[in-house]
Amino acid sequence: MNALNPVARAAVPPRIRLPGHRRTALAQARQRLAIGILLIVALIGLLALRLVELALFDGPPRHRSAPAASPFLRADIVDRNGTTLASSFEAFALAARPRDIVGDRERLLAELVRILPERPPEAIRAALWHDGRFRFVARRILPDQAEAIRRLGEPGLTLEREPERLYPHVSLAAHLVGYTGIDGRGEGGIERAFEARLTDPAKRDEPVELSIDLRVQQALESELQAQMTLSEASGAAGVVMDATTGEVLALASLPAWDPNRPGGMVGMPSHMNRATLGVYELGSTFKAFTIAMALEEGLVRLDERFPTGGIAIGRHRITDVRPKSHALSVPEVLIHSSNVGTARMAERLGRQRQEAYLRALGLMDRAPGELPEAGRTLTPPPDNWGLSSVMTVGFGHGIAVSPLHLANAYATLVNGGIHRPATFLKVPRGVERPGNRVFSEETSRLVNGMLRLAVLDGTGRRADAEGYRVGGKTGTAEKVLEGRRGYDRRRNITTFAGAFPMDNPRYVVITMIDDPSAGQRSAGLVAAPVFRQVVNRIAPVLGVLPAAPGASEPDVAALDGLYQQRAPRPATAPAQP
């Protein structure tokens, strides 16, 4: 038997032998411990993986420290060549927070008056001393003014940045482009018509392309302004249109204003768009339409003669301004601008057909185009459109239209007879806009020849731009008296409506001078020279060459013998058959 050392026996713990249930309890405890450890390890492992992932890849997107106050809060407006008409940029505005002002207010006032000379000192004083928390002192200050104010180091004067709209060309095309109000919304013109498109976030980087050509616009506006000043007229309007596509290349209305500082101009005379909103009786320019209508309907023959004696209708008497001694043929009616001849043609036309043609030419609706300022024409009332109205409408009195209406109708007349409504948006090259046929090609060609003769031999002689084969018609109409029936003999509206080059008309130009009071007062002496100057300036720009091979005078062979040639013909190549 081993004689166990009692110490050794005490040092070695005896092997534990547990009864069955305690063994399972221990196993269970060990299992739970293992599970717990595994869970904790898994948690730590997860955290470690997340840390690795964050270290290698980007975390959640961070908030941008300086929110990009994008100046492109409004899309640009450009002309057809990409020249900017309106653009947005960030401007500085000076704001005063009176509660934060720490410096001496009087000194601040003196400094600000020195830095901002255009701001009235009372406004600055009111902003610095007012009771509220925030007030603008001046908006749209120049960058160097802003820098000077920042150097003052006054915490109560903060420089806010706001998106501003800049119209670099100031008053050019002001009525067309419009302006934006103080809250940045468009008011008037294209700015208002395309408000949704201009503020669309997806398209802020794409400018709105207008059909306007700014060089043509400048030429038109400056010539109209020169004549307006010379004649001391109260207003002027002009339109240049592409005859084949209906695009408006220039829309002028004078007097104009600066859309950068519109101020409180709404309601002032300069604010009205005389080219689209103002309607005027445009006088003899209408005769071309009546002749075209009569020729189209086959109601007159070219060699038919119209006596020039007066017509008595109702209480009125229709006479010519300068009656000729002989009966006039159809071309001569247009060349000499005979009211009587045109009235006779209109009489044959009748009300139904005249109204239908006017409607087809767009002269019974609102002004075409995308502008919100579209004027309605004034036509004889449906219940009072009798024979006298038909006759007077025939030579352009009794119907009041805007210059844009007239341009659109002339474009229809000269481009072969297809009516396309005017548009202010650029038409992509090669795209053919749909149109309605109003006159036949033959009628259009004949009237083109007559319009050329009206410039060569008729009242529009001063509109003849050398080499560019201009055709058109003058129109002098007395202004309607305010509120009373009848006309004001002392005040005229002088218009010239024409197109060039007449052998293949590409552009229609309308010039209108409202109430020329100094010097001459007839369209042939007031509006026609403007037309000639404008054509001389814009023809090279628009690529109309004066002596290109094949370009020549329009074919007036059909009108031979029907008119008296008064002016010597310019030396150009004869018409190619």
Partner 1 sequence: MASLARPARAQRTVNARATGGRPAWIAAGLMILGTLAVATTSYSLSARVAAERRDVERLERQNRALNAEIRALNAELKVRMRLPQLQRWNDEVLGLVPVSARQFAREPHQLLAYGRSLEGEGAPPAAHVRPAIRDVPVPPADQPAPARLIAVAAAEEASALPPPSTRKAAGTVAGGREPAPVHPAVSPPAPVLAATEPLRPTLPPETADLLHQVELAFPARRPGP
Whether 552 sits among the annotated catalytic residues: the reply is: no
Q: Taken in order 289, 293, 298, 300, is the CA torsion positive or negative?
A: negative
CB of 180 or CB of 308, closer to partner 1: 180
Contact 76, 88 (CB under 8 A): yes
Our CB check for partner 1 shows the closer of 7 and 182 to be 7
Nearest-approach distance from CB 123 to partner 1, in angstroms: 25
Nearer to partner 1, 14 or 382 (CB): 14
Nearer CB in complex with partner 1: 83/440: 83
Nearest approach, Cβ of residue 12 and partner 1 (Å)? 4
Alpha-carbon gap, residue 152 to 61, rounded angstroms: 38
Amino acid making up residue 546: P
User: How far apart are CB 168 and partner 1 at their closest, in Å?
Assistant: 4
How many Å apart are CA 249 and CA 238, to the nearest integer? 11
Rg (CA), the chain: 39
247 or 296: whose CB is closer to partner 1?
Answer: 247
**Minimal distance, residue 88 CB to partner 1, in Å:** 9
Count Cα atoms within 13 angstroms, Cβ side, for 407: 36
- Beta strand extents in 353-443 (DSSP E only): 418-419, 436-437
Handedness of CA 269, 273, 277, 279 (dihedral sign): positive
Cα 42 to Cα 118: distance, rounded to the nearest angstrom:
72
Question: Which helix (H) or strand (E) is 7 found in, with range?
Answer: helix 6-11
Return residues touching partner 1 (CB under 8 A): 2, 4, 8, 11-12, 51-52, 54-55, 65-66, 68, 71, 84, 87, 89-90, 143, 166, 168-172, 214-215, 217-218, 222, 465-468, 536-537, 539-543, 545-547, 549
46: region left, alpha or beta (phi > 0 left; psi from -120 to 50 alpha)? alpha
**Rounded Cα gap, residues 536 and 112, in angstroms:** 50
Supply the minimum distance, in Å, between the C-beta of residue 216 and partner 1. Answer: 11
* CA gap 281, 478 in Å, rounded: 8
CA pair distance 334, 409, nearest whole angstrom:
17
* Beta-carbon-side half-sphere exposure of residue 166 (alpha carbons within 13 Å): 14
Residue closer to partner 1 by CB (options 141, 559) is 141
Query: Which amino acid, 571?
Result: A
Is the Cβ–Cβ distance between 395 and 284 less than 8 Å?
yes
Q: Which is nearer to partner 1, 314 or 570 (CB)?
A: 570
Q: Which is nearer to partner 1, 215 or 376 (CB)?
A: 215
Residue tagged 């309106």 (tokens): 86
The identity of residue 257, as a single letter, is W
CB 451 within 8 Å of CB 472? yes
d(CA 461, CA 452): 10
Using an 8 Å Cβ cutoff, are 442 and 435 in contact? Answer: no
DSSP code of residue 400: B
Minimum Å gap between C-beta 266 and partner 1 is: 23
Count Cβ atoms within 10 A of the Cβ of residue 244 and give its class: 0-12 exposed, 13-18 middle, 19 or more buried: buried
Q: Which of 323, 333, 327 is nearest to 291 (CA)?
A: 333
C-beta of 101: minimal distance to partner 1 in Å?
28
In sequence order, what are the beta bridge partners of 508? 241, 499
Catalytic residue among 284, 329, 337, 388: 284
Strands 157-166 and 179-180: unpaired
How near is the Cβ of 91 to partner 1 at its closest, in Å?
Answer: 9
Smallest distance from the beta carbon of 285 to partner 1, in angstroms?
25
Measured from the CB atom, the residue of 413 and 539 that comes closer to partner 1 is 539
The type of residue at 47 is L
Residue placing its CB nearer to partner 1 in the complex, 40 or 547:
547
Report cis status (omega within 30 of 0) of the bond before 501. yes
Q: Is 8 or 196 the residue whose CB approaches partner 1 more closely?
A: 8
CB of 163 to partner 1, least distance (A): 11
> b/e for 329-365, b at 16 or more Cβ within 10 A?
bbbbbbbbbbbbbbbbbbbebebebbbebbebbbbbe
> Which letter, b or e, does each residue of 188-227 get, where b requires 16 or more Cβ atoms within 10 Å of its Cβ?
bbbbbbbbeebeeeeebeebbbbbbbbbbbbbbbebbbeb
> Identity (one letter) of the amino acid at 103?
G
For the bound state, the minimum distance from the C-beta of residue 355 to partner 1, rounded and expressed in Å, comes to 42
SS3 515: coil
Please list the active-site residues: 284
